[in-house]
Each structure stands twice: as C-alpha cells, then as structure tokens.
Amino acid sequence: MPILEVENLSVSFKQYKRGLIQETSNVISSLNVSIEKGEILAVVGASGSGKSLLAHAILGILPENARMGGVIKYAGEKLTPLRQSELRGTEIALIPQSVNFLDPLMRVGAQVRTSAKKGDKAAAQKEVFERYHLKSNVEHMYPFQLSGGMARRTLLSTAMVSGASVIIADEPTPGLDPVVIAEALQSFREFADKGCAVMLITHDIESALTIADKIAVFYAGTTVEIAPVENFQGNGEALRHPYTKALWRALPQNDFIPIQGTSPHPSHLPQGCLFAPRCEMSSADCRNTRPDMRTLRNGMVRCIHAT
Ligand SMILES: Nc1ncnc2c1ncn2[C@@H]1O[C@H](COP(=O)(O)OP(=O)(O)OP(=O)(O)O)[C@@H](O)[C@H]1O
Ligand SMILES: [Mg+2]
C-alpha cells in the first residue's frame, strides 16, 4: 500500500477580472501520484505547472481562495483538514520553496529544536547543523541574519529532525553549493532507505535522477508521465510521453534543443490534450479529447499515441 496517494486532485482559483466578471483558473486537474515506503518520487515540470500547489494540497495549506477536489490518502486513510493539521510537521514534513516560511521572530536553532518531536532535541539540532555545514553560532541567529543558502539549510534541518515518515521537499536546493546539494540529496536517500518516503519537487532533473526511484512529469497542472528513473537514458526511447522525451533531449548533455512554444495559461486550457498545441504527434483526437492516464510498460502515460 502506498504511504501517500493523491487521486484525481484538482485545484482551482476564482478571481475577479474586471469589475464583477469572474474567471476560473484550473491550475491542477485530474492529478494522480503515489509514493511507496522506501521510495523517492521526483516531481519535475515547468514553472507554474502546479508543483508547489500539489505540496500545499497534501499538507492542507492551500490559500483561502483555492478550491480543491479529489482525495489525498496517508497510509490508506483519507485525509480531512483536521487530520492534515495533525500530520503536518509530525508525520509529513514540508521543506518549503520559500525561505519566508521560517518564523522571523524565533532564533533558528530554537526553530529546528521545536521541529524535533522526540529524543534529545538539542543534540539533534547540533548534529543536523554540522551535517549541513552551519556553524555553531548560527543557532543564535534570526532568519533575517541568514544568507539565502543558510536559510535553505535551516529549512532542510527542520525537516530532517522532525521524525516524519514523509518529506515533501519543494525545490530544496537552489542557491546551495554543490557539496551541500550532494549532502542534502544523500540525506533524502538515507531517509527513504529507512522505510520513509520523499517527494522531491525540482527543476533539476539531473540531480533528481541521481537519487530518485521514479519521476513524475508535470505539465500544466497534471501528470503526463510517471517513469522509473532507468528510463531516462540514451535518446529517451524508453520514455513514453512526447513532453518527457522533449524535456530529456533539452538537457545540455543531450541535444540541448529547447521545446517549442509555451505552456497554456490555467484560465485558457485547451479542450483536448494539454500538450497538443506543442506536440508534433498531435492528431484530431488529441485536440478534441483530454486523454486519460494509462499504464504503459512499467510506468504511466497520458497520451493516446504513446507506445
Ligand atoms: N493564490 C493563488 N491565486 C491564484 N493563482 C495562483 C495562486 N497560487 C498559485 N497560483 C497559480 O497556480 C499555478 C501553479 O503554481 P505553483 O506555485 O504550484 O507552480 P510551480 O509548479 O510550483 O512553479 P515553480 O516551479 O515556479 O515553483 C500558477 O499558474 C500560479 O500562478
Ligand atoms: Mg513551486
């Protein structure tokens, strides 16, 4: 049984455009992902594709004006807002994308110690600071005294001492030096190997491939492919979706050819396949009907042409 399951998630926002004219943005639609114990799932996709909102939906911290549909399950149990608030920070820890999640009025050592739920909290904080190369005087600092990289390392520390079973890491590594990135990725791997699970949200496909077990590819608010990490090799012939193949080929060490066009705006999604306007394989069927996610080989794909 997966430790975390997201079924048919949708998130939309109603916004006033001009005067009383409302516009609905469907930022996430029919999204399915699951993570097993011991697994790292990397979530990759362009900016604005809904990755952070997925993380916030799981934790129950979507903005007030968001409407959510679908089901989120933890260890088989369907989550309610109350249950989400109980699990937040205890069973499910978030490493947020924004360092503004740190409490500006609390010294960072104390913030990390309050996140530790059992054992010797002071020892846990010191150990994790050492691991991420934060000097001992840093624990007495306030968030405004930290550099961007130090703030990120503090957020990593907070999740690592929490004792949670699932970590959702939303772009945890930008601005960190390569040694700390490697350390952070290594600690995610160790965390998963203990029987926990990690959802690693990132732009950095290459780093993700070094530690993840499977990759979920996001496009315009939904998953277009879920592939085991081994499929990312060669010319991408083992990959299923045209967008995943194009992402893979766009990497500098591959063909370095950018994908033509741009992602659709959430308030003006195409009627059929969300990728159809940019896809070389698109047919009339693709433009008319939104394809379902289907199992293909040992992965999943949302494309009628994929073989
Ligand atoms: N409070 C909000 N009100 C209206 N729209 C929002 C709100 N928050 C996010 N969105 C929209 O939802 C979409 C997805 O946002 P999200 O932050 O999940 O993207 P992302 O994939 O995490 O991007 P990035 O890689 O840049 O972090 C974007 O189009 C964004 O403009
Ligand atoms: Mg984000």
pLDDT at position 255 is: 84
pLDDT at position 204 is: 86
| Nearest alpha carbon, ligand 1 atom 24 | 47
Cα–Cα nearest to 221, from 275, 171, 167? 275
pLDDT at position 138 is: 97
pLDDT at position 177 is: 87
pLDDT at position 19 is: 83
Q: How many angstroms separate the first and last alpha carbons of the chain?
A: 28
Q: Which CATH architecture has domain 4-15+23-91+164-301?
A: 3-Layer(aba) Sandwich (3.40)
SS3 percent helix, strand, coil of the chain, rounded to 5, is: 35, 25, 40
- List pLDDT tens digits, range 249-267: 999 888 888 888 999 999 8
- List pLDDT tens digits, range 178-207: 888 998 999 999 999 999 999 999 988 988
Is the CB of 53 inside a 6 Å radius of any atom of ligand 1?
yes
Residue ranges in the chain whose pLDDT is less than 70: none
- Whole-number Å distance, alpha carbon 140 to ligand 1 midpoint, is 34
pLDDT at position 289 is: 96
**Degrees to nearest 5, angle at CA 148 with 143 and 151:** 45
Q: Where are the domains of the chain?
A: 4-15+23-91+164-301, 104-162
Is the CB of 13 inside a 6 Å radius of any atom of ligand 1?
yes
